């Protein structure tokens, strides 16, 4: 069944994971009231918007401290203005700007996704597949790249235009949303690196947090697109034997960044759990739980972890957000029981395609990527595509 916010509602799941609290407890109100606010049904809410944001600030957990009254009122006014004119995805990026990090092009693209999602919701409410399809095809920002199926690499518009079945439409929307997520994260990646790591060589940093295959792992021939099937190795105990998961990679990346900050050079190899615990100033047991997602890495937990080295979370928040995006939207999946195989979504090819397109567009707008400090060589991702014949499709 199609749900509201078809191309943008995924951000709520990511935001909830990053916060770690139930939505109602974030605002100190009933969940239904919060849903009305977040879905722009303000008239149905039982509280004034200013009261919602005031309650949200009151309920922020430590180590996010209290702010003075003048700053609080100015912040509430800014949040209200943003909430009235924005959808959920663009509001997420506007929130980054309010917090001090500006990503104008990613915010602009988010507005496009929000506006299109509203039109799609209207067509679904009216049970009109023709209107739904028209809204999609009339969205000029959805270039050919968005319509390439991430599994079969075929043009999804052909499938969409031939159907009068909402189930088929749902299948197309799921795949289209996958591409939309890759696109906006890739654009955010570029703007993030241009501001936070402008002295470093440009690379798709947020992609590094996506699921990554273990070296030497056998990939079943015939894989295409993002969905990769792995042969289960002898002694298999779980997905950790097949791929590095996003939260594990997040810990590795932050360990390397803090090591570089202290030593002005990268470590010679990817830090072990013991070395990462030493760098981050925490215990191996706690770090192992964060890496495996047995303990959720919330924004509060992330702040506490980085504060152990007197480094704030603000400029590094995209790293945490990207890890949660990949964790909840790509990982893990199973290819079935008893087949000796597992599968996961490895987004490298599609992501890099959007990343290169956005990079060219940003450079045409005057963005300059001229950093020269190299990144760790051990961050390189395996070239999966070399093992995948293009003539053997896997749906």
Reported confidence tier of residue 367, pLDDT bands at 50, 70, 90: very high
**What is the distance between the alpha carbons of residues 114 and 88, in angstroms, rounded to a whole number?**
7
3-state secondary structure of 21: coil
Q: Is 342 helix (H, G, I), strand (E, B) or coil?
A: strand
In sequence order, which residues have a C-beta less than 8 Å from that of residue 106 and are 6 or more positions away?
A: 93, 184, 187, 188, 191
Higher pLDDT, 387 or 102: 102
**DSSP state at residue 272:** P
pLDDT at 104: 94
The pLDDT of residue 168: 94
- Are 90 and 114 a contacting pair, CB within 8 Å? yes
- 144-159 burial code (b ≥16 CB/10 A, e <16): eebbbbbbbeeebbeb
State how far the Cα of 95 lies from the Cα of 171, in Å rounded to an integer: 31
Confidence of residue 244 (pLDDT cuts 50, 70, 90): confident
**Most distant CA pair in the chain, distance:** 63
Full-model pTM: 0.85
Model pLDDT, residue 254: 92
Q: What is the mean pLDDT of residues 38-45?
A: 50
Does the N-terminal peptide bond of residue 228 adopt cis geometry, omega within 30 degrees of 0? Answer: no
pLDDT of 388 reads 33
Share of the chain above pLDDT 90, in %: 44
Report CA-CA distances (Å) from 293 to 13, 63, 224, 271, 343. 16, 21, 28, 18, 19
Strands (E), the chain: 212-213, 227-231, 243-244, 341-345
Q: Output the pLDDT for position 47.
A: 58
Judged by DSSP in three states, 7 sits in: coil
Which neighbouring-strand residues pair with 155?
148
**Within a 13 Å sphere around the CA of 201, how many CA atoms are in the beta-carbon half?**
7
For tokens 């929307």, what's the residue? 173
Confidence of residue 5 (pLDDT cuts 50, 70, 90): confident
> Across 185-189, 275-279, 315-319, which has the greatest mean pLDDT?
185-189
Residue 265 has pLDDT above 80, yes or no: yes
Query: Confidence band (pLDDT; 50, 70, 90) for 394?
Result: very low
pLDDT confidence band for 23 (50 / 70 / 90): low
How does DSSP classify residue 17?
A: H
C-alpha span between 367 and 291 (Å, rounded): 35
12-26, 64-78, 130-144: the lowest-pLDDT one: 64-78
- Antiparallel, parallel or unpaired: β 243-244 and 212-213: antiparallel
Least confident of 31-40, 83-92, 220-229, 292-301: 31-40
221 vs 113, residue with greater confidence: 113
The better pLDDT of the pair 161, 390 is held by 161
Query: What average pLDDT does range 39-68 have in this prediction?
Result: 62
Mean pLDDT for 160-168 is 93
Give the mean model confidence (pLDDT) for residues 102-127: 94
Helix (H, G, I), strand (E, B) or coil at 68: coil
Average pLDDT, the chain: 81
The whole-number pLDDT of residue 238 equals 72
Q: How large is the C-alpha radius of gyration of the chain?
A: 22
pLDDT at 37 over 70: no
Cβ-Cβ contacts under 8 Å for 22 (sequence gap 6 or more): 31
**Is residue 206 scored above 90 in pLDDT?**
yes
Q: Is the pLDDT of residue 338 over 60?
A: no
Residue 395, CA distances (Å) to 154, 223, 228 in order: 11, 9, 10
Give the model's pLDDT for residue 4.
59
3-state SS assignment for residue 171: helix
């Amino acid at each position: 069944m199609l749900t509201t916010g078809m191309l943008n509602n995924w951000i709520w799941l990511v935001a909830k994971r990053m916060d770690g609290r139930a939505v109602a407890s974030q605002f100190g109100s009933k969940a239904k009231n919060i849903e009305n606010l977040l879905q722009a049904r303000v008239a149905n809410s039982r509280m004034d918007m200013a009261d919602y944001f005031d309650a949200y600030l009151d309920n922020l957990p430590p180590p996010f401290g209290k702010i003075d009254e003048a700053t609080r009122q100015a912040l509430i006014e800014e949040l209200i203005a943003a909430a009235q004119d924005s959808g959920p995805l663009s509001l997420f990026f506007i929130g980054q700007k309010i917090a001090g990090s500006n990503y104008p092009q990613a915010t602009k693209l988010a507005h496009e996704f929000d506006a299109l999602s509203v039109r799609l919701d209207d067509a679904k409410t009216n049970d009109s597949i023709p209107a739904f399809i028209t809204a999609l095809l009339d969205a000029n920002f959805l270039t050919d790249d968005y319509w390439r199926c991430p599994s079969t690499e075929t043009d999804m518009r052909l499938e969409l235009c031939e159907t009068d079945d909402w189930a088929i439409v749902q299948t197309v929307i799921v795949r289209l949303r996958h591409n939309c997520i890759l696109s906006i994260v890739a654009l955010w990646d570029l703007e993030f690196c241009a501001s936070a790591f402008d002295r470093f060589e440009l690379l798709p940093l947020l992609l590094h947090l996506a699921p990554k295959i273990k070296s030497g792992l056998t990939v079943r021939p015939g894989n295409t697109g993002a969905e990769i099937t792995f042969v289960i190795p002898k002694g298999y105990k779980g997905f950790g034997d097949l791929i590095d998961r996003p939260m594990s990679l997040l810990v590795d990346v932050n360990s390397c960044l803090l090591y570089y900050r202290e030593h002005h050079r990268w470590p010679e190899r990817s830090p072990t759990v013991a070395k990462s615990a030493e760098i981050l100033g925490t215990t191996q047991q706690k770090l192992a739980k964060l890496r495996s997602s047995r303990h959720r890495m919330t924004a509060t937990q992330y702040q506490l972890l980085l504060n152990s080295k007197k480094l704030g979370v603000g400029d590094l928040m995209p790293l945490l957000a990207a890890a949660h995006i990949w964790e909840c939207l790509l990982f893990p999946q199973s290819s079935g029981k008893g087949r000796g195989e597992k599968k996961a979504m490895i987004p490298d090819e599609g992501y890099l395609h959007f990343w290169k397109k956005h990079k060219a567009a940003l450079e045409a707008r005057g963005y300059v990527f001229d950093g020269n400090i190299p990144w760790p060589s051990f961050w390189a991702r395996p070239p999966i595509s070399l093992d995948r014949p293009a003539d053997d499709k896997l749906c």
